[in-house]
Amino acid sequence: MPGLDWLTAHPLAHRGLHDAAAGVIENTASAFAAAIAGGYGIETDLQLSADGEAVVHHDDALGRLTDGNGRIADLSAAEIKAVRFKATTDRILTLGELCELVGGRVTLVLELKSRFDGDRRLVQRTADVLASYAGPVAVMSFDPALVEAVRMIAPGLPRGIVAERHYAHREWERLPPSEKRRMAHLLHVVRTRPHFVAYGIKDLPAAAPLIARWIFGLPLLTWTVRSQEDRRRAHIWADQVIFEGITP
């Protein structure tokens, strides 16, 4: 897709420019405002509520950073919006509220969270909200099925695949080894046709993302850059960083 220079023009603050020690929690309005003030793009996460709203939250369930408990998928948008982040006045945002907050001032990169169950409703709701958003925005997902769904539902919306080499974290245990290999080596690209790749910094260099970058010209983001060593590696192998905890 032509005209994606904005995607790599500035570092992307991972879940906003957060600093828990200073009371600025990830994926909150405060973290997003700090990223905007710093001139950084924003990377954040979207989940689907029980009534089909796209909400800004990383975890599948409440409780790690918020008051309350329960799975996001089992709660209505109204119930989720009422939840407060611990020791703050911030509350969980909807995608529409995030778009209003950012207002096109910086790049938004939205990771669509997936349960790898074929549910495309988050894609549809995200596309519906973004249809009236004029700012620079892209979506991405670890799930090739969701990236393919973006291609079908909103072909003009810049889309990317998030990937890593080993998928060793326990969250990937339910996926068969064959699927993890396909994801690691980007073997789904014929059907997903991503416009960019976001690959784990600890796994660079790796053949698949570098082929995508050097041969096919796809922008390569890398995550999550948290150290000077990560930053040096990113400078060699990637076009831009998704960072936290350091000055990029």
| Per-residue confidence in pLDDT tens, the chain, 248 aa | 668 999 999 999 999 999 999 999 999 999 999 999 999 999 999 999 999 999 999 999 999 999 999 999 999 999 999 999 999 999 999 999 999 999 999 999 999 999 999 999 999 999 999 999 999 999 999 999 999 999 999 999 999 999 999 998 888 999 999 999 999 999 999 999 999 999 999 999 999 999 999 999 999 999 999 999 999 999 999 999 999 999 99
Burial of 247 (0-12, 13-18, 19+ CB in 10 A): exposed
In order of their start, the domains of the chain are 5-243 (3.20.20.190)
CB 220 within 8 A of CB 197: yes
Q: Which residues contact 217 (CB under 8 A, 6 or more apart)?
A: none
CA-based nearest residue to 106, from 197, 34, 25: 34
